[in-house]
Amino acid sequence: MPACRTLDCVAVFATTVADARCVGGVLVGYDPADPYSRRTADTVSLDRTTPDTPTVGVFADPTFFGDTGAEAVYDAALDRVTEAGGTVTTVPERPFRETAELLYDGPWVAERLSVVADLVANDPGALLEVTREVITEGADYSAVDTFEAMYELRANRRATADILADVDCLLTPTTGTTYTVDEVADAPLRTNSNLGRYTNYVNLLDLSAVAVPAGTRPDGAHLGVTLVCPATADGDLLSLADRLAPGVPASVPVRTSP
């Protein structure tokens, strides 16, 4: 069942970047039975092509929600970028951040409601209370709200396309911090919003992303970084991941959205 059918994509979890590339090679292609499939999928190349000295865009002041351990892991990842011959340059976060906020604080919540509307009406207790609370807010949005959000998204797509045109990829924390199960249970809306800060804009902006392990906090919690490129640039993205995040432990998954 879809979450947001206009935004959904297939995500690959693999033990190495090479495995993700292999699986992507099987998955990528045009599906005439899927009205959301694009013929451009036939032109996606997963070949190993990457500049010798990539330019990596980063946000000027990423937030880690007070997690100094996560910040240290991210800073170390940036050091590895320069050690690998890359150049780090700051880019504006605003259009990415504003787009991320649209996913749950905008009319795309109504699309989620459309999927489970019958269940909400006939058996609302089947949903977790917090899930039901978020999804039913979709009924509060009007058609006018939807069009206004679409206009905002279009403007942000133009702005972010211009930003990404000047770099080979964007590099962000995968999550600014990480939480225990109990911490999420105590504040599910806040913690999930924080966890999605660097990912919720990717599908809305029609981008590709690959998340790779970056290190661990002193308490042993695993943290990662995410590389982001325009859609259909998956080959370049995976090649950059190969170079900028070498030595991925076989026991830790890699996520990519071809």
Please name the amino acid found at residue 61.
D
Higher pLDDT pick, 50 / 251: 50
Percent of the chain with pLDDT over 70: 90
Q: Which two tokens stand for residue 140?
A: 């509060």
Average pLDDT over residues 177-184: 95
Reply yes or no on whether the pLDDT at 134 is more than 50.
yes
Predicted confidence (pLDDT) at residue 147 exceeds the cutoff of 50: yes
Dihedral (C-alpha) 88, 100, 252, 227: value to the nearest 10 degrees?
A: -30
DSSP per-residue letters across 118-151:
HHHHH-GGGS-HHHHHHHHGGGG--HHHHHHHHH
Residue position matching structure tokens 């649209």: 102
CB atoms within 10 A of CB 43: 10
| CATH numbers and ranges of domains, the chain | 12-92+154-256 (3.90.1300.10)
pTM of the model: 0.88
pLDDT of residue 217: 92
What whole-number distance in Å separates Cα of residue 134 and Cα of residue 229? Answer: 30
Segment 137-166 mean pLDDT: 96
Q: How many CB atoms lie within 10 A of CB 149?
A: 17
Name the more confident of 46 and 62.
62
User: What letter would DSSP give residue 23?
Assistant: H
Q: What does the mean pLDDT of the chain come to? A: 88
pLDDT tens digits for 11-21?
A: 899 888 888 88
H helical segments located in 84-204 = 94-104, 108-122, 129-136, 143-164, 181-186, 188-195
Burial label for 218, CB within 10 Å (0-12, 13-18, 19+), is exposed
Residue 4 corresponds to which tokens in the numbers above?
A: 């947001």
Per-residue pLDDT reduced to its tens digit, 227-236: 999 888 888 8
Q: What would the mean pLDDT of 173-187 be, rounded to a whole number? A: 95
